[in-house]
A and B are shown apart, each in its own frame.
Chain A
């Protein structure tokens, strides 16, 4: 139904224009909003967030958008006079409709019976195309599997092997009592955190953390191994001293030296118990009892019962074996980078030789041979370049006779250092070359004529200057 007066026609036209403007605005804003929503959805899927009530949020946001579009179109609605002009033009009113807004045109209302509203054209193709694209983008964002999205967002870092290895190391350290339980648990928590935060975007951070943990474990293991080695050395020493005392003949005349040896052995045993190198609680009860009694006898300065002394030696060996086993365990988990540096590099004879020498000062012959044999026997099959009890002392025996041997004399030339040389003078020209053309064609003398000073001007290329400088600045020359 057509309006019959300009004011109602104007109102209807204004509403029509505003409606189309609001739709247009809403559509365009929706495109932008959908694209942003698509980005947000993508981000949420990358992060693995699944909001439960996203539909309500979606609808609510779009509602707000619609209201804003309505307000915006209302505010930007065309001027009333211009709309009247459009209405006038549409109805070919010759200015009557326009004039109705400015002048009293009641006498001409009969000419404006039925007013036709102009149609509002909106080329919405591009906007709808944009909406379609934006909608497809949002749909695609929803369809992206979270698993792959997360893979894209946070590329995983494969560190399971390293983590497992570190976990085993911590277990070993805890088991060998190198690491207290609380510290071990703290390390495990730290390891779990590193594993969880491992990201392919920043692998160096993870690797650095793992390396730090590994380094820390190795330091602790090395410290423990060093201590174990030290204890093992003491155990060796005590063991050898015990064996020596055990093997001594019963009629040994130097009883004072024997008692001194016993006191040393007793002191060593007490030190080992205190330091933990010898732990009687870890020994079988009967063995522990025998060791305890032997130690008491030694402390009194007496010679323990041979059977008990043998049992004590057995205990020392057992403890020594445990320490070595611990070191092997640590090395097996990669905690000791160079396992050969421990338990083999030491020289058990060194610590004892002085003591034994002091012990054996007043006795020779048979006892010296026993001690020497003991030391030699200790080294059999256990030496090497970088491990073992140490090098045996070189003994020069059966020297060959050099009588009548002659050597041909050979002149070796001047071997005095250059700094001891004497400066005789400095030539203004190049030294005369006497080596022939073959020498002239080499190095700085290349293509230089002898006696013309050309050798001086021969350039040293920049790339060679470093080498030349280094040659003349050699250390120790």
Chain B
């Protein structure tokens, strides 16, 4: 069997340049949080949905709107409220009369029929409405009255949610949370950035991007991303990492055994592999390395670990468990005697 050929540098470099431009435009439009911007770009490259968590006014909506503009994609925003109904998001059939006088049910698409859907404060909607998003996020389609309609390509959901402790919020069900590729936390920017925002952004208006990616660019990125090579040791590391999130797994560290009730799903492993590919592409590499996995492991898995009550008592967050997990699992899987090790950088 012939060996596959890695991407040629000449093939990879344009893609990396496009990504660099996207990131550059985001950094220009949205001050601060450069690493967060790259994470969002990675999510979009991986065709994953992103859940943003943070207090109101931290720029979640601005980020979603900006990415829509830069990617030159259709963007719609839905403000989730407790009385929001599934039809308000997905669309509904409306009785209409034609010019000939015939009446028929005509489908009126909802805001979900777009490329980038900003589901603002998604955890304020009722579980019923939240569940209406499941098919759209996973299948990228909407089924109403027995008819399935594909959503436009590409389709991303960028949802924001308030911290669960706030009043008037419904926790997202695990099945829906699992459909998000990343959960990223929005923290306040530091004073320097805040000062720049005050001085450079009057009324908080976002500047228009001076470069926009085309659909061809996105298609090329998608094609190149598919050719990013995932070596077997990295795949093995991914698998071991996800498996070790389960408390019954023999390789699980003690923190996992102590604080995790349910570990990450296979979907997490798939998502992490895709995100690691995008991370490698962003850094101009034709192959996925361990550092790519480490870079995306936390945002991919932090919302997929279901903590037990002991974790609540001990005020342990999923991120703490993940940090310990990443430290305890040897990436190479090298089985040396206990008193031997390789001293790596």
Q: A residues bordering B, Cβ < 8 Å?
A: 17, 20-21, 24, 78-79, 81-86, 88-90, 92-96, 98-99, 101-105, 107-108, 118-124, 126-127
Contact = CB atoms under 8 A, between A and B. Distances in A.
Contacts of A90: 342, 344-345
B6 A108 contact: yes
B43 interface: no
A94 B339 CA distance: 27
A102 B231 contact: yes
Interface string B269-310: 000000000001001011111111000000000000000000
10 contacts: A78-B335, A85-B331, A88-B290, A92-B291, A94-B291, A96-B287, A104-B6, A105-B6, A122-B339, A126-B339
A28 to B, nearest CB: 9
B285 A121 contact: no
A81 B335 CA distance: 12
A103 B5 contact: yes
B8 interface: yes
A102 B233 CA distance: 10
B339 A95 contact: no
A108 B9 contact: yes
Contact of B285 (A94, A101, A126): A94
B312 interface: no
Contacts of A96: 6, 285-287, 289
B15 to A, nearest CB: 15
B231 A95 contact: yes
Contacts of B287: 94-96, 98-99, 103, 105
Contacts of A89: 289-290, 331-332, 344-345
A24 B5 CA distance: 40
A98 B286 contact: no
B340 interface: yes
A98 B290 CA distance: 10
A78 B289 contact: no
Contacts of A104: 3-6
Contact of B339 (A92, A103, A127): A127
A103 B331 contact: no
Contacts of A95: 229-231, 234, 280, 285, 287-290, 292
Nearest to A105: B6
Given A21-B337, A96-B289, 12 more contacts: A21-B340, A85-B290, A85-B334, A88-B231, A88-B290, A98-B287, A99-B286, A103-B5, A121-B340, A121-B342, A124-B339, A127-B339
A32 to B, nearest CB: 15
B173 interface: no
Nearest to A88: B289
B233 A84 contact: yes
A88 B9 CA distance: 19
A86 to B, nearest CB: 5
Interface string B1-31: 0011110110000000000000000000000
Contact of A85 (B4, B6, B230, B332): B332
Contact of B3 (A83, A102, A119): A102
Contacts of B288: 94-95
B233 A82 contact: yes
B166 interface: no
Given A95-B280, A102-B232, A103-B4, A82 B340 contact: no
A101 to B, nearest CB: 8
B283 A94 contact: yes
Contacts of B232: 81, 98, 102
B3 A103 contact: yes
B286 A108 contact: yes
Given A89-B290, A119-B343, A126-B339, A83 B9 contact: no
A99 B283 contact: no
A430 to B, nearest CB: 83
A84 B334 CA distance: 10
B226 interface: no
Contacts of A86: 332, 334, 342, 344
B336 interface: yes
Interface centre among A24, A79, A88, A121 (most CB of B within 10 A): A88
A124 B345 CA distance: 22
Nearest to A84: B233
A96 B12 CA distance: 14
B168 interface: no
B38 to A, nearest CB: 16
A196 B268 CA distance: 83
A55 B29 CA distance: 82
A19 to B, nearest CB: 12
Nearest to A119: B343
A86 B344 CA distance: 8
Contact of A99 (B6, B332, B336): B6
A79 B229 CA distance: 21
A24 B341 CA distance: 12
Given A88-B289, A94-B287, A126-B339, A107 B334 contact: no
Contacts of B5: 103-104, 107
Most buried by B among A82, A96, A104, A119: A82
B333 interface: yes
A122 B340 contact: yes
Nearest to B334: A82
Interface string B304-333: 000000000000000000000000000111
Contacts of B332: 82, 85-86, 89
Contact of A83 (B286, B291, B334, B337): B334
A95 B232 CA distance: 10
Contacts of B336: 17, 21, 78
A82 B6 contact: no
Nearest to A94: B289
A25 to B, nearest CB: 9
Contacts of A84: 233
A98 B233 contact: yes
B178 to A, nearest CB: 27
Contacts of B290: 85, 88-89, 95
Given A82-B332, A95-B287, A121 B341 contact: yes
Contacts of A122: 339-340
Contacts of B339: 24, 122-124, 126-127
Contacts of B340: 20-21, 24, 120-123
A82 B332 CA distance: 6
Nearest to B234: A95
Which of A94, A105, A120 has the most chain B CB within a 10 Å cutoff? A94
Given A96-B287, A103-B3, A120 B342 contact: yes
A82 to B, nearest CB: 5
Top 8 A-B residue pairs of the complex, sorted by shortest distance between their CB atoms: A95-B287, A94-B289, A98-B231, A95-B289, A85-B233, A85-B332, A119-B343, A94-B285
A107 B342 contact: no
A17 to B, nearest CB: 7
Interface in B29-88: none
A38 to B, nearest CB: 24
A422 to B, nearest CB: 97
A98 B6 contact: no
B233 A93 contact: no
B344 A98 contact: no
Contacts of B335: 78-79, 82
